[in-house]
Structure 1
């Protein structure tokens, strides 16, 4: 019976099963993610990450959500993939600059920080935010969607739409940690305004340099952290005039430092990635 080795990793508690050794994404990747990501009968994870060959970058990352659907991009997963690629010796040791290709953002430059030869933090060029309503995508044909009205079950909300290679619905509220994600997340994810569904972020601004965020991830539900969601949060905060272009975004699993650079219009994310354990199936 053939066995496959895996590595369990996490970035601020957003956890992944990382696989390397395939030439391409397996046809049964969705079914495999459903089985392995199950927290009762499988390994347990928010997603399944494949580290694959690339013709344009050092490696390609493909991520399958725990519900079997594919995500275009994932900020916490790409940090985990970068640490995996370096610490597993897939590139020369001590190399601080890598490139990783994703289907949502193309080739993404990554900068590694080391302690005692191991990666402790990863800074990722997350690319330029997409703000056009139809491109995010939403069903609203507008150059930008900022504080757009949305009603769910009688609750009136306003959202800002941002794509970081995947769609985000950012909603500023008085108490983000107190929001009932299970009540509102599924309804917002599948709202008719979002033809490809959406990630949902509830955000409370604490200062111009700090925001609290809680996330319902498309295809995964509530997670402890979402890197692209933190990036979308900062962009939305700038568009709404409540955050500076560099700020800390606090998630349930910890903090990410996000910068939306005014000169190149690109968003940069810095945060940790850690190994949890290894195994085989």
Structure 2
């Protein structure tokens, strides 16, 4: 991301958001609107705590630490089965926003896309603020950022807090639009899928994350079902293994041939067309 910190625990943040909102709304009795505010803050605090290892470790070691956090959250969900339903899962009520109940797929799409646009706008404002510039300075060089007077520890912790808030917000929407949640929805493969989305779209870019998400969702819902039966028989793979194989192949191809992702490719194309008349190798003859 913008701070250059690897996380393989975002599925856990999503799970905490989903289960927290389900408990607050259905068992405690809080309004859905209030859960939209409280739950992201709670998940952000979890992210803040998980950010402590980022002060001492980085790279793959930090990723493994956050992955371990995901396993802990999954076991805690099973342990507190009287609240979470354990391995059997938990039924979740429909979202009711200012008296309007989200009751069908179109309502779900409208709710999700509306809040997704709001999240993108908020993320853009953060990136263009002093906070975002501090994040990017840490990503580029911690030594240079520290020499510039940036508090490395403070901004790393804030990075995890904000990231956890966004994931918690998504968890709230997921719980109240799918109406059922279980530990199977939040396994390590989901965290890896998030990494694939970012790599495909373009690391360190909001629009890249959006493009990567759209690409993977279209692949998952259109391409894979279209060729799954024939290719799984030809390659002797199970249906679930085939999906993992395809996503792994996509990630490998992008890392090798297009490391800047889809958004990076678009930026290069845009720059090329701006400079086109002055490029002697590409002039028409």
| Same fold? TM cut 0.5 | no
TM-score by length of 1: 0.27
TM-score by length of 2: 0.26
Higher relative contact order (CA 8 A, sep 6+): 2
Greater strand proportion: 1
Greater helix proportion: 2
